[in-house]
Amino acid sequence: MTLRSGSVFRGRLWADDRGIITKQETDSPQMTTILASRDEALQEPHDPALDLVRDIRVPVKPPPSDPEHALQAVYRMSSNTEDLGKLIPSDEHQTVKSLGDRTVELCVHPPRFPPVGPISSETADSSATEASIWIQSDAPEIIQMAELAAAGQSEWRDVVPALCRFVYRTVRNKGYDHAFLSALEVAQQKEGDCTEHAVFLAALARARGIPARVAVGLVFRDNAFYYHMWTEVFVNGCWVGFDATRERGVVTPGYIKLGQDSLGTADGLGVFLPAMRLVGQIKIDCVSVE
């Protein structure tokens, strides 16, 4: 299957004589899904220690020293299957250098907020400003929350951090009960994981006239990298990352970006494809932290 981004998703499907899919295998990640009844799907796991988020983490040696307060970090990443030089983007957040043999060197140097600039003459695509099926920035509830979150603020350098803090405090049930909610659903239910925080913040930013999109990648904690999503806002000609799952909201050199998307179409799950292709397939070494 080829997505609108041009990325190819390879796998195999099995169907019965009625055309119902009973089994699916994917190559990246290497995963098998089978059709099950509701009762089977809701059974307690055979292994109570099973934790998918933890099981697909990427250990890093040596662990980067205090990336939260660093200016930049350099990592070496290698893959068993993917050409990382073509898959991982180079932008304001990071620079990618191909070393050959499916290995890259990543210099992660996220721009500080607020960026002093303007940094470039680049303009944001309209898809990062318009409402969509995932980011309903034109919904009355979203508009009202965006005004409330940064009441009395007009400068983007004040508005964006205020919106980020609002999302962090509003999403009270920070769990994995939902696969992927839209921003409006998050505003109404006030629960979700990193994906819900990311789309909610993007919607609030767009409602205040600030272009926004989501980024998918890896974040460092507890001596490993975990798959994650955060928000990027376009200010002063520069895309700057914000993570509303954290009260400070600052995106640091402990974040490795694998892709970004404005979520302008119904094909929202395509944003996860770069990360999915690397699950179980990569190794990360920390070269330096400054």
What is the Cα–Cα distance from 191 to 189, expressed in whole angstroms? Answer: 6
What tens digit of pLDDT does each residue of 246-279 get? 988 989 999 999 999 998 876 666 777 777 778 8
Nearest-10 Cα torsion for 33, 35, 39, 42: 20
Element (H, E) at 34: strand 31-34
Name the CATH code of domain 107-289 (choices 3.10.620.30, 3.40.50.620, 3.30.450.40, 2.60.110.10): 3.10.620.30
Q: Domains of the chain: which residue ranges?
A: 1-50, 107-289
Residues 263 and 201: beta-carbon distance below 8 Å:
no
What is the Cα–Cα distance from 44 to 182, expressed in whole angstroms? Answer: 28
**Number of neighbours of residue 56 by Cβ within 10 angstroms:** 15
Please give the radius of gyration of the chain, using alpha carbons only, rounded to the nearest integer: 20
Name the 3-class secondary structure at 100.
strand
∠ CA 213-241-57, nearest 5°, is 95
Amino acid 276: pLDDT? 78
What tens digit of pLDDT does each residue of 116-157 get? 554 455 678 888 999 999 999 999 999 999 999 999 888 888
**Number of neighbours of residue 141 by Cβ within 10 angstroms:** 14
